[in-house]
Chains A and B, each alone.
Chain A
Amino acid sequence: MDKLVIADRKFDSRLLIGTGKFASCEIMAEAIARSGTEIVTVALRRVDIENENDDMLSAIDRSKYLLLPNTSGARDAEEAVRLSKLARAATGINWVKLEVTPDPYYLLPDPVETLKAAEVLIKDNFIVLPYINADPILAKKLEDAGTATVMPLASPIGSNQGIKVRAALEIIIEQANIPVVVDAGLGLPSHAADAMEMGADAVLVNTAIATASDPPAMAEAFKLAVEAGRAAYKSGPPAAGRKASASSPLTGFLRDE
Protein backbone atom coordinates (compact mmCIF):
# COMPACT_ATOMS: atom_id res chain seq x y z
CA MET A 1 0.00 0.00 0.00
CA ASP A 2 0.99 3.56 -0.74
CA LYS A 3 1.19 4.93 2.80
CA LEU A 4 2.40 8.25 4.05
CA VAL A 5 5.02 7.59 6.72
CA ILE A 6 5.96 10.35 9.14
CA ALA A 7 8.31 9.53 12.01
CA ASP A 8 7.55 5.79 11.61
CA ARG A 9 3.81 6.38 11.88
CA LYS A 10 1.77 5.27 8.84
CA PHE A 11 -1.15 7.16 7.36
CA ASP A 12 -3.55 6.25 4.55
CA SER A 13 -4.60 9.85 3.94
CA ARG A 14 -2.24 12.41 2.43
CA LEU A 15 -4.45 15.35 3.36
CA LEU A 16 -3.83 17.20 6.62
CA ILE A 17 -6.58 19.53 7.80
CA GLY A 18 -6.28 22.76 9.74
CA THR A 19 -9.11 23.58 12.16
CA GLY A 20 -9.08 27.39 12.05
CA LYS A 21 -11.83 29.66 10.74
CA PHE A 22 -14.70 27.13 10.79
CA ALA A 23 -18.09 28.68 11.56
CA SER A 24 -18.87 26.02 14.18
CA CYS A 25 -17.41 22.92 15.79
CA GLU A 26 -20.13 20.83 14.11
CA ILE A 27 -19.19 22.00 10.61
CA MET A 28 -15.51 21.46 11.43
CA ALA A 29 -16.15 17.92 12.65
CA GLU A 30 -18.14 17.06 9.54
CA ALA A 31 -15.50 18.54 7.23
CA ILE A 32 -12.78 16.58 9.02
CA ALA A 33 -14.78 13.38 8.61
CA ARG A 34 -15.51 13.98 4.91
CA SER A 35 -11.88 14.86 4.15
CA GLY A 36 -10.68 11.40 5.17
CA THR A 37 -7.80 13.05 7.02
CA GLU A 38 -5.92 11.41 9.87
CA ILE A 39 -3.99 14.47 11.06
CA VAL A 40 -5.57 17.72 12.23
CA THR A 41 -3.75 20.82 13.36
CA VAL A 42 -4.76 22.97 16.31
CA ALA A 43 -3.41 26.16 17.88
CA LEU A 44 -2.90 27.24 21.50
CA ARG A 45 -4.26 30.48 22.90
CA ARG A 46 -4.93 32.09 26.26
CA VAL A 47 -8.28 31.17 27.80
CA ASP A 48 -10.63 34.15 27.80
CA ILE A 49 -11.22 34.25 31.54
CA GLU A 50 -14.03 36.82 31.30
CA ASN A 51 -16.15 34.89 28.79
CA GLU A 52 -16.32 31.16 29.08
CA ASN A 53 -15.78 29.78 25.59
CA ASP A 54 -16.31 26.34 24.20
CA ASP A 55 -13.58 23.78 24.12
CA MET A 56 -13.18 22.90 20.44
CA LEU A 57 -11.06 19.88 21.25
CA SER A 58 -14.12 17.92 22.38
CA ALA A 59 -15.36 18.03 18.76
CA ILE A 60 -12.29 16.07 17.57
CA ASP A 61 -12.29 12.32 18.12
CA ARG A 62 -8.73 11.74 19.21
CA SER A 63 -8.94 7.99 18.69
CA LYS A 64 -9.37 8.69 14.95
CA TYR A 65 -7.20 11.73 14.37
CA LEU A 66 -3.68 12.61 15.37
CA LEU A 67 -3.71 16.04 16.94
CA LEU A 68 -0.89 18.18 15.58
CA PRO A 69 -0.49 21.33 17.71
CA ASN A 70 1.08 24.28 15.93
CA THR A 71 3.15 27.11 17.34
CA SER A 72 1.27 29.82 15.46
CA GLY A 73 1.68 33.20 17.06
CA ALA A 74 5.33 32.53 17.94
CA ARG A 75 7.58 35.32 16.69
CA ASP A 76 10.91 33.74 17.60
CA ALA A 77 12.46 30.41 18.52
CA GLU A 78 12.02 30.94 22.25
CA GLU A 79 8.26 31.51 21.95
CA ALA A 80 7.90 28.53 19.63
CA VAL A 81 9.70 26.24 22.09
CA ARG A 82 7.51 27.53 24.94
CA LEU A 83 4.33 26.88 22.95
CA SER A 84 5.54 23.40 21.97
CA LYS A 85 6.12 22.49 25.61
CA LEU A 86 2.68 23.80 26.58
CA ALA A 87 1.10 21.74 23.82
CA ARG A 88 2.93 18.64 24.98
CA ALA A 89 1.82 19.25 28.55
CA ALA A 90 -1.77 19.63 27.35
CA THR A 91 -1.94 16.58 25.10
CA GLY A 92 0.89 14.26 26.00
CA ILE A 93 1.73 14.40 22.29
CA ASN A 94 5.27 15.24 21.29
CA TRP A 95 4.43 16.11 17.68
CA VAL A 96 4.51 19.78 16.79
CA LYS A 97 3.98 21.82 13.67
CA LEU A 98 6.68 24.43 14.11
CA GLU A 99 5.71 27.88 12.86
CA VAL A 100 7.69 31.03 13.55
CA THR A 101 6.08 33.98 11.80
CA PRO A 102 7.34 37.37 12.95
CA ASP A 103 5.74 39.21 10.03
CA PRO A 104 1.98 39.63 10.61
CA TYR A 105 1.21 40.86 7.09
CA TYR A 106 2.41 37.99 4.91
CA LEU A 107 2.91 35.53 7.81
CA LEU A 108 6.11 34.33 6.21
CA PRO A 109 8.18 31.97 8.35
CA ASP A 110 11.50 33.08 9.81
CA PRO A 111 14.11 30.58 8.55
CA VAL A 112 16.79 31.35 11.16
CA GLU A 113 14.48 31.12 14.17
CA THR A 114 12.71 28.06 12.74
CA LEU A 115 15.97 26.14 12.42
CA LYS A 116 17.04 27.27 15.90
CA ALA A 117 13.74 26.13 17.44
CA ALA A 118 13.82 22.83 15.54
CA GLU A 119 17.25 22.00 16.96
CA VAL A 120 16.13 22.74 20.53
CA LEU A 121 12.90 20.75 20.15
CA ILE A 122 14.55 17.71 18.55
CA LYS A 123 17.00 17.55 21.47
CA ASP A 124 13.96 17.55 23.74
CA ASN A 125 12.47 14.53 21.88
CA PHE A 126 9.85 16.40 19.88
CA ILE A 127 8.75 15.21 16.46
CA VAL A 128 9.06 18.41 14.49
CA LEU A 129 7.15 19.32 11.32
CA PRO A 130 8.43 22.77 10.36
CA TYR A 131 6.51 25.29 8.23
CA ILE A 132 9.00 26.95 5.90
CA ASN A 133 9.31 29.13 2.89
CA ALA A 134 10.14 27.15 -0.25
CA ASP A 135 13.89 27.25 0.42
CA PRO A 136 15.72 24.08 -0.61
CA ILE A 137 18.84 24.84 1.48
CA LEU A 138 16.77 25.42 4.61
CA ALA A 139 14.78 22.25 3.91
CA LYS A 140 18.03 20.29 3.74
CA LYS A 141 19.36 21.84 6.95
CA LEU A 142 16.14 20.99 8.78
CA GLU A 143 16.26 17.42 7.48
CA ASP A 144 19.87 17.15 8.65
CA ALA A 145 18.82 18.51 12.06
CA GLY A 146 16.30 15.66 12.30
CA THR A 147 12.88 17.10 11.49
CA ALA A 148 10.19 14.57 10.58
CA THR A 149 9.01 16.49 7.50
CA VAL A 150 9.41 19.82 5.85
CA MET A 151 6.28 21.86 5.16
CA PRO A 152 7.01 24.41 2.47
CA LEU A 153 4.35 26.97 1.58
CA ALA A 154 2.73 27.16 -1.85
CA SER A 155 1.94 30.86 -1.32
CA PRO A 156 1.15 32.98 1.78
CA ILE A 157 -1.12 31.40 4.42
CA GLY A 158 -4.80 31.80 3.65
CA SER A 159 -4.13 33.53 0.32
CA ASN A 160 -5.68 30.78 -1.86
CA GLN A 161 -3.20 31.60 -4.65
CA GLY A 162 -2.02 28.05 -5.31
CA ILE A 163 1.61 27.20 -6.06
CA LYS A 164 3.66 30.37 -6.60
CA VAL A 165 7.04 28.85 -5.78
CA ARG A 166 7.05 25.99 -8.27
CA ALA A 167 10.74 25.87 -9.18
CA ALA A 168 11.92 25.92 -5.56
CA LEU A 169 9.29 23.40 -4.52
CA GLU A 170 10.45 21.02 -7.26
CA ILE A 171 14.00 21.18 -5.90
CA ILE A 172 12.83 20.56 -2.33
CA ILE A 173 10.83 17.51 -3.45
CA GLU A 174 13.75 16.21 -5.54
CA GLN A 175 16.25 16.50 -2.68
CA ALA A 176 14.18 15.51 0.36
CA ASN A 177 14.52 12.15 2.09
CA ILE A 178 11.71 13.04 4.48
CA PRO A 179 8.08 13.72 3.55
CA VAL A 180 7.37 17.07 1.92
CA VAL A 181 4.00 18.44 3.02
CA VAL A 182 2.90 21.45 1.00
CA ASP A 183 1.25 23.79 3.45
CA ALA A 184 -0.41 27.18 3.01
CA GLY A 185 -1.91 28.91 0.01
CA LEU A 186 -3.69 25.96 -1.62
CA GLY A 187 -7.04 27.53 -2.49
CA LEU A 188 -8.64 24.91 -4.72
CA PRO A 189 -8.63 21.14 -5.07
CA SER A 190 -6.76 21.62 -8.37
CA HIS A 191 -3.95 23.35 -6.45
CA ALA A 192 -3.72 20.35 -4.13
CA ALA A 193 -3.71 17.96 -7.08
CA ASP A 194 -1.01 20.12 -8.66
CA ALA A 195 1.22 19.73 -5.58
CA MET A 196 0.61 15.98 -5.44
CA GLU A 197 1.33 15.57 -9.17
CA MET A 198 4.66 17.33 -8.57
CA GLY A 199 5.52 14.62 -6.06
CA ALA A 200 4.65 16.24 -2.76
CA ASP A 201 4.00 13.53 -0.14
CA ALA A 202 1.01 15.33 1.37
CA VAL A 203 -0.72 18.69 1.61
CA LEU A 204 -2.23 20.68 4.45
CA VAL A 205 -5.41 22.66 3.81
CA ASN A 206 -7.38 24.91 6.13
CA THR A 207 -8.72 28.21 4.81
CA ALA A 208 -9.93 26.86 1.46
CA ILE A 209 -12.12 24.32 3.23
CA ALA A 210 -13.15 26.28 6.33
CA THR A 211 -14.26 29.38 4.43
CA ALA A 212 -16.04 27.60 1.55
CA SER A 213 -19.85 27.93 1.45
CA ASP A 214 -20.10 24.20 2.12
CA PRO A 215 -16.98 23.15 4.03
CA PRO A 216 -17.77 19.39 4.27
CA ALA A 217 -18.35 19.18 0.50
CA MET A 218 -15.15 21.12 -0.17
CA ALA A 219 -13.27 18.83 2.22
CA GLU A 220 -14.39 15.86 0.15
CA ALA A 221 -13.38 17.64 -3.07
CA PHE A 222 -9.87 18.11 -1.63
CA LYS A 223 -9.78 14.46 -0.61
CA LEU A 224 -10.52 13.36 -4.18
CA ALA A 225 -8.03 15.85 -5.63
CA VAL A 226 -5.25 14.66 -3.35
CA GLU A 227 -5.96 11.04 -4.28
CA ALA A 228 -6.09 11.89 -7.99
CA GLY A 229 -2.87 13.90 -7.82
CA ARG A 230 -1.08 11.12 -5.98
CA ALA A 231 -2.31 8.48 -8.42
CA ALA A 232 -1.16 10.64 -11.35
CA TYR A 233 2.28 11.11 -9.81
CA LYS A 234 2.64 7.37 -9.23
CA SER A 235 1.59 6.71 -12.82
CA GLY A 236 4.55 8.64 -14.22
CA PRO A 237 3.03 11.53 -16.17
CA PRO A 238 4.59 12.12 -19.61
CA ALA A 239 6.56 15.31 -20.21
CA ALA A 240 4.92 18.39 -21.71
CA GLY A 241 6.06 19.35 -25.21
CA ARG A 242 5.80 22.48 -27.34
CA LYS A 243 4.51 20.81 -30.52
CA ALA A 244 1.45 18.69 -31.20
CA SER A 245 1.71 14.93 -31.14
CA ALA A 246 -1.25 13.27 -32.82
CA SER A 247 -3.29 10.94 -30.68
CA SER A 248 -5.04 9.42 -33.76
CA PRO A 249 -3.16 7.65 -36.57
CA LEU A 250 -2.20 10.08 -39.38
CA THR A 251 -2.23 7.38 -42.08
CA GLY A 252 -5.13 6.07 -44.16
CA PHE A 253 -6.94 9.36 -44.86
CA LEU A 254 -9.66 9.32 -47.51
CA ARG A 255 -7.54 11.24 -49.98
CA ASP A 256 -4.76 10.37 -52.46
CA GLU A 257 -1.34 11.95 -51.95
Chain B
Amino acid sequence: METLKINGVQKQFSAGLPQTLTELLKHLNINEATVVAEIGGEIIARQNFAQTELSTGQVIELIRFVGGG
Protein backbone atom coordinates (compact mmCIF):
# COMPACT_ATOMS: atom_id res chain seq x y z
CA MET B 1 0.00 0.00 0.00
CA GLU B 2 1.34 3.40 -0.93
CA THR B 3 1.37 5.93 1.88
CA LEU B 4 2.18 9.56 2.60
CA LYS B 5 2.60 11.10 6.03
CA ILE B 6 0.61 14.33 5.79
CA ASN B 7 0.67 16.75 8.70
CA GLY B 8 1.70 13.97 11.05
CA VAL B 9 -0.96 11.49 9.89
CA GLN B 10 -0.24 8.36 7.81
CA LYS B 11 -2.56 8.36 4.80
CA GLN B 12 -3.03 5.25 2.67
CA PHE B 13 -3.78 5.49 -1.02
CA SER B 14 -5.30 2.17 -2.12
CA ALA B 15 -5.90 3.44 -5.67
CA GLY B 16 -2.31 4.69 -5.98
CA LEU B 17 -0.63 7.95 -5.01
CA PRO B 18 -1.66 11.22 -6.62
CA GLN B 19 1.10 11.93 -9.12
CA THR B 20 1.90 15.49 -8.12
CA LEU B 21 1.47 17.86 -5.21
CA THR B 22 -1.26 19.70 -7.15
CA GLU B 23 -3.17 16.44 -7.57
CA LEU B 24 -2.79 15.62 -3.88
CA LEU B 25 -4.27 19.00 -2.92
CA LYS B 26 -7.17 18.43 -5.31
CA HIS B 27 -7.69 14.99 -3.76
CA LEU B 28 -7.79 16.60 -0.29
CA ASN B 29 -10.09 19.44 -1.45
CA ILE B 30 -7.55 22.08 -0.50
CA ASN B 31 -7.25 25.30 -2.49
CA GLU B 32 -3.68 25.32 -3.75
CA ALA B 33 -3.47 29.11 -3.63
CA THR B 34 -3.86 29.19 0.15
CA VAL B 35 -1.21 26.71 1.26
CA VAL B 36 2.51 26.35 1.56
CA ALA B 37 4.07 22.90 1.40
CA GLU B 38 7.13 21.13 2.73
CA ILE B 39 8.26 17.71 1.55
CA GLY B 40 10.87 16.03 3.72
CA GLY B 41 11.62 19.38 5.33
CA GLU B 42 12.19 21.16 2.00
CA ILE B 43 9.89 24.04 1.09
CA ILE B 44 8.22 23.64 -2.29
CA ALA B 45 7.50 26.92 -4.09
CA ARG B 46 3.86 27.15 -5.15
CA GLN B 47 4.72 27.57 -8.82
CA ASN B 48 6.39 24.14 -8.64
CA PHE B 49 3.44 22.27 -7.08
CA ALA B 50 2.26 20.94 -10.45
CA GLN B 51 5.73 19.59 -11.33
CA THR B 52 6.47 18.12 -7.91
CA GLU B 53 6.07 14.36 -8.16
CA LEU B 54 5.22 12.32 -5.09
CA SER B 55 6.61 8.99 -3.96
CA THR B 56 5.49 6.60 -1.26
CA GLY B 57 6.67 7.22 2.29
CA GLN B 58 7.22 10.96 1.87
CA VAL B 59 6.61 13.28 4.80
CA ILE B 60 4.50 16.24 3.71
CA GLU B 61 3.52 19.33 5.66
CA LEU B 62 0.66 21.49 4.38
CA ILE B 63 0.49 24.84 6.13
CA ARG B 64 -1.65 27.93 5.87
CA PHE B 65 -2.24 31.23 7.57
CA VAL B 66 -4.61 31.51 10.49
CA GLY B 67 -5.47 34.38 12.78
CA GLY B 68 -2.70 35.26 15.19
CA GLY B 69 -1.26 38.12 17.20
Contacts and interface: CB of A to CB of B under 8 A. Distances in A.
- To the question of whether A and B form a pair in one complex, the answer is yes
A49 B7 contact: yes
Interface in B1-25: 6-9, 11
Interface in A237-253: none
A49 B9 contact: yes
A207 B67 CA distance: 11
A218 B62 CA distance: 34
Contacts of B34: 55, 57-58
Contacts of B67: 18-22, 28, 42-43, 56, 210
Interface stretch (A85-93, A134-142, A193-201): A85-93
Contacts of B11: 49
Contacts, number: 96
Interface residues of A, number: 35
Interface centre among B29, B46, B68 (most CB of A within 10 A): B68
Nearest to A72: B68
B61 to A, nearest CB: 7
Contacts of B31: 55
B63 A44 contact: yes
Contacts of B9: 49
B30 A18 contact: no
Contacts of A21: 67, 69
A26 B59 CA distance: 35
Interface in B35-69: 35-36, 38, 43-46, 61-69
A157 interface: yes
Contact of B45 (A57, A89, A184): A89
A254 B63 CA distance: 78
B7 A46 contact: yes
Smallest CB-CB A-B distances: 7 pairs: A43-B68, A18-B69, A206-B69, A90-B36, A19-B67, A55-B34, A20-B67
19 contacts: A18-B67, A18-B68, A19-B68, A43-B67, A43-B68, A44-B63, A49-B6, A49-B11, A55-B34, A67-B65, A72-B69, A85-B43, A86-B63, A87-B36, A89-B36, A89-B45, A90-B64, A158-B69, A206-B68
Given A18-B68, A19-B68, A43-B68, 4 more contacts: A19-B67, A46-B8, A47-B7, A57-B64
